[in-house]
Amino acid sequence: MPESKPQNCTITLDGQNYEFPVIVGTEGEKAIDISKLRDTTGYVTLDVGYKNTGATKSKITFLDGELGILRHRGYSIEDLAEKANFLEVAYLLLKGELPNKEEFESFDADIRHHTLVNEDLQNIFKTFPTGSHPMGQLIAMISSLSAYYPKALDPNRSQEAKNRTTLRLLAKMPTICAMIYKKSLGHPVVYPSNNLDYVSNFLTMTFKHVSDHEYQPDPVVVDAMNKLLILHADHEQNCSASTVRLVGSSQANLYATTAAGIAALWGPLHGGANQEVLEMLNAIKADGGNVQKWVDKAKDKNDSFRLMGFGHRVYKNFDPRAKIIKKACDDVLNKLGINDPVLEIAKKLEEAALTDPYFIERKLYPNVDFYSGIIYRSIGFPTEMFTALFALGRLPGWIAQWQEMIGEGQPIGRPRQIYTGQTPRSFVNRGDRS
């Protein structure tokens, strides 16, 4: 790796010059290290929504929003989606290298060993009303694992304990997601079959009926699901990963920290967009399929409606994940022989938005969530499960971000603010207030 020459940045405040180091990443991105700014000058920086703030250095994921590049540990997302399976990518994110044959077999076997969840966990479902959103249930279920594994409450106990918690989370997440789906139907849960690979096991727990001895997940679906999970596996310092780092920085346990990440993901501006995209496409279809009317609605500043699945905080050219997923979407629908009218609406919407100056000027392109829902739907998942599937994919990324943060002993996250409220004033007794 080329050694970068140390640089400084001079900031002039109140007529005085201050020097701050410039940090250069391995891909050449530059940052001004202002961690001593307040101590030396009394100033803080203000950056609402962290649009311009590097909250950490990280070795996990590189992303260039202008060029549409996404790499995990140096490997392109295109190669990973094409050539790896989800567990290999999870291993890569967590350990920094792709596993060799023995390492993969051992990791896979360890995960298979932990797929069962405590039977008592099923009691939690009894407390949820019918129709509860899967994400609300997932947050509760993942958080409740901390009650079953109290030794994990101390995140710094030992490397071995951290590894075990990581394996448990990775292994139990598909079981819990499938349980949530089964419970939503009122069906008995299907227990894990540890002779199956990670994705086939998840699909079997989700779609097999307990009495069905014939169920075999379709290899086309297994492949598509692997790709979808890989494309969601990490995305550097996004809203949920930053939440995981922030919550984890207080030394909260990994189960609670992951539950916080899931909560952040649920929002429609983040992972919740995949559900919203499908609901939007269904609404356009039910409304007669007039795509232009909805594009106009999205452009109208007096209307809060946004085209879900369009735009991204960092990708301002194209989302590389969307490119891969668009092709996977076509492949799956072709191979499964599905002719989905919603896909036609999606294509028209994409075309209208990509040629409209409003979207071109603002660099609003279809993102990963625009196509993922169409694949999930063709596989048979109800829209309400979509964001839980995103969480299943993102889990190794969250854990990798947490491990890196804990491993480096990063301090508790605690931003500053600029107070804009009332200055000191005298208390007035209740009876004397106007």
Give the footprint of ligand CMC on this chain (CB under 6 A).
Answer: 235, 238, 269-271, 273, 298, 306-313, 362, 364, 367-369
Query: How far from the centroid of its chain's Cα atoms is residue 364's Cα?
Result: 20
**Closer to ligand CMC at the Cβ: 162 or 350?**
350
Q: Residue 323 has which token pair?
A: 């490119």
The active-site residue out of 235, 270, 312, 319 is 312
CA distance 55 to 49: 12
- Cβ atoms 203, 222 nearer than 8 A: yes
Beta-ladder partners of 21? 8
**Closer to ligand CMC at the Cβ: 133 or 232?**
232
**Closer to ligand CMC at the Cβ: 359 or 402?**
359
Would strands 30-32 and 16-24 be described as parallel, antiparallel, or unpaired?
Answer: antiparallel
312 catalytic per annotation: yes
**Closer to ligand CMC at the Cβ: 152 or 375?**
375
Q: Residue 201 has which token pair?
A: 């096991």
CA distance 345 to 5: 52
CA distance 372 to 180: 20
**Closer to ligand CMC at the Cβ: 209 or 347?**
347
Kindly tell me the sign of the dihedral angle through the C-alpha atoms of 419, 420, 423, 424: negative
CB of 119 to ligand CMC, least distance (A): 35
CB of 68 to ligand CMC, least distance (A): 13
Residue 69, φ and ψ in degrees, nearest 5: -105, 135
CA distance 358 to 162: 48
Residue 96, φ and ψ in degrees, nearest 5: 95, -15
CB of 360 to ligand CMC, least distance (A): 11
CB of 342 to ligand CMC, least distance (A): 17
Helix axes 86-95, 219-231, angle to 10 degrees: 20
129 contacts: CB under 8 Å, gap ≥ 6: none
CB of 287 to ligand CMC, least distance (A): 17
Q: Which residue lies nearest ligand CMC, judged by its C-beta?
A: 311
**Closer to ligand CMC at the Cβ: 151 or 362?**
362
CB of 267 to ligand CMC, least distance (A): 9
- Cβ atoms 392, 202 nearer than 8 A: yes
CA distance 243 to 101: 34
Q: Torsion angle of alpha carbons 148, 154, 158, 159, nearest 10°?
A: 80
Beta-ladder partners of 19? 10
47 catalytic per annotation: no
The total of other beta-carbon atoms located within 10 Å of residue 152's CB is: 21
**Closer to ligand CMC at the Cβ: 350 or 369?**
369
CB of 235 to ligand CMC, least distance (A): 5
Active site residues: 312, 369
